[in-house]
Amino acid sequence: MKREIKKAVRFLNQGGLVCFPTETVYGLGARLFDEQALQKIFKVKNRPMDNPLIVHIADLKELKMLTQNFPRAAFKLIEKFWPGPLTLVCKRSALAPALASAGLKTVAIRMPNHRTALELIRALGEPIAAPSANISGRPSSTRYQDVVRELGNKVNMVLKGEQSELGLESTVLDITRVPFRILRPGFVTLEKLKKVLPNICLAAKGKNKKVLSPGVKHQHYKPNCKVVLVEPQYWEKTLEQWQNQKTRLGVFSYSKKIPNFKNIVFNKMFHGNKFEMAKQLYSYFYDAEKAKVQTLLVETIEQKGIGLAFMDRLKRASA
């Protein structure tokens, strides 16, 4: 892997793009301080320019360099959750490029909990700006083969790794105001955050406001099929309605029984395991595409703990 890391660093220093694994999803990385490379990220992903990127760091010195007026209370969160799937939206210093922040006065920063990601950042010697490695609006990639299929011919290199351990993007927390607010739910749940700082809350949903976090404004996570959410109490009745429809059905069940219908061409059951369902959501979206699923029925789960993040992604995928 050291040889691959050196190769990736060479591409990055030449203004190239490198996809790399993290514990959440694969990232599409460029040097933070290379404006032309940052512009390539937006172009390759077909990403709206008002959608900020997340800056990945490997040392707290980089956090200090890129931010100003950093609140003392937030260090309690860093001590508990970094490295890990928590992104902090901070007040941006003059050294943090405006392009990476979509022109906002804030910057989104996290320290990944993944050996390859940290080795890459340290070998480069500076932060890496990296949104998820997929075309904007599509499901995030959590497997090497999905990254290659989505972006392989559009980037300089894809660093190979195992499937992402968590499978959902990081929690994004706005720490520029009090109380701190969750802009995007993730594996660092509201309940976990409240144990450290009890006043943390979910951001109120509003329109016509500048968006401080990726993954909350634009269409996201949609596979190439229709996604239909099915509440558990309507599961049997809903599936019966689809039994004789002329469509290639896919079914994701959290705990409900999956019937043996002829038009079900792809199915997955998670036996009540929320974490496994969250981990596999995007990978199974891609697998459903390969099976040429036209309509995908997904059982909903309770919006507590990791269920809040899972349902956030699922609702956007079905919009």
Q: What is the bridge-based pairing of β-strands 249-253 and 157-158?
A: unpaired
Q: Does residue 217 lie in a domain region?
A: no
Domain residues for the domain of 252 are 226-318
DSSP 282-314: HHHHHHHHHTT-SEEEEE---SSTHHHHHHHHH
Q: Same structural domain for residues 136 and 237?
A: no
> Residue 237 sits in a domain of what CATH number?
3.40.50.11030
Last residue of a domain, one of 143, 169, 202: 202
The total number of residues shown for the chain amounts to: 319
CA–CA distances in Å: residue 83 to residues 75, 111, 117, 216, 297: 12, 5, 11, 23, 35
> Residue 122 sits in a domain of what CATH number?
3.90.870.10
Q: Same structural domain for residues 181 and 236?
A: no
Q: Same structural domain for residues 23 and 166?
A: yes
Q: Does residue 306 lie in a domain region?
A: yes
pTM of this prediction? Answer: 0.95
Q: What is the bridge-based pairing of β-strands 86-91 and 106-110?
A: antiparallel
- The per-residue pLDDT for 1 is 76
Q: Same structural domain for residues 147 and 241?
A: no
Q: Same structural domain for residues 256 and 310?
A: yes
Q: What is the mean pLDDT of each run of 10 residues along the chain (319 residues)?
A: 94 98 98 98 95 97 97 98 98 97 96 98 98 96 97 96 97 97 97 98 74 66 96 96 94 96 96 96 98 98 96 94
- The per-residue pLDDT for 215 is 61
Q: Same structural domain for residues 177 and 262?
A: no
